[in-house]
Amino acid sequence: MATPYKFIDENNFKTWFLMTLFLIFVFGIGYLIAYLTGQNWIFYFAVIFGLLTNIWSYYYGDRIITFLTGAKEVNKNDLPEVYRILENLSIAAGLPKTPKLYLIETPAMNAFATGRNPENSIVAVTKGLLEKLNKEELEGVIAHEISHIKNRDIKIMMIATILAGIVAIMADIFLRWGLWSSSDRENKGNVLFIIIGFILALLAPVFAQLFQLAISRKREFLADASGALITRNPLGLASALEKISNQETEMNVSPATAGLFIINPFKNKKSLTYWLSNLFSTHPPVEERIKRLREMVI
């Protein structure tokens, strides 16, 4: 039987697995370039880059996420009622420390949690969420995010988001480097960079899908159920999910962060942004989540 402790252990294992996989990938790319160009320093650079990126992602990933989403920290005096809800629910959930509260200035309704552990965690909510949800619905959303913190989902979500994004950035760098250099002079190095860039561009969605598979969709159902148990009110979260999923407003954030939010922040199904966001999204159908919440008996 799956328990929160089992999910915590799985999340810890998957986090280290993803970080190791990323190191192997970067080392392999560095070795390939060094071998084909005869420049051994490139491999050593790849080793340093891979190690530093993993360390940076682990310890400073929350800062990267808040930068990508435009979230700004607020204190107790700025949003006293929201902070009180966050504080009370953190105590009810047994967290060792109340997460920091962040606000995203957007009319869209959404929220996410991130950080490497419960002692270093944050909960971010949008301005639209605070304006359009009632107290019970807001409690449901915050309890859901607190459950992600308690279950250690936030660490693997943070690492997966950043590492998948870095692979995509690497692809863009190699392509631009090769194309820009080839305009000055044709040589094997330029062709090599272009080829590697195209390979990385093709692999980026694959890596995104691998990271998506590593983050089980069960975590959302578990966070929904755990959040409902904390508030003793599953209908509050169900109502909030319904409102958020039916909104028309999109968020101006990186598609790589889509999987962090309680509901995918992009609505335009025909856009490239929506397609990219789905590569990083790990959410089950919201209709199924709402159905399960409304059937819960507490």
Catalytic residue ranges: 145
Is there a contact between 227 and 140 (Cβ–Cβ < 8 Å)?
yes
**Helices marked H in 183-249 — which ranges?**
188-214, 218-231, 234-246
- For residue 260, the surrounding DSSP H or E stretch is none
Is there a contact between 116 and 58 (Cβ–Cβ < 8 Å)?
yes
Q: What are phi and psi of 281, to 5 degrees?
A: -85, 140
**Strand order in 71-74's β-sheet?**
71-74, 100-104, 120-126, 111-117
Is there a contact between 68 and 257 (Cβ–Cβ < 8 Å)?
yes
State the pairing for strand pair 71-74/120-126.
unpaired
- Give the CB-side neighbour count of residue 293, counting CA atoms within 13 A: 32
DSSP string for residues in 279-293: HH--PPPHHHHHHHH
Q: What length does the chain have?
A: 298
Q: What 8-state DSSP symbol labels residue 99?
A: P
Q: If 0-12 CB within 10 Å is exposed, 13-18 middle and 19+ buried, where does residue 75 land? A: exposed
Q: Determine how many CB atoms are found less than 10 A away from the CB of residue 261.
A: 25
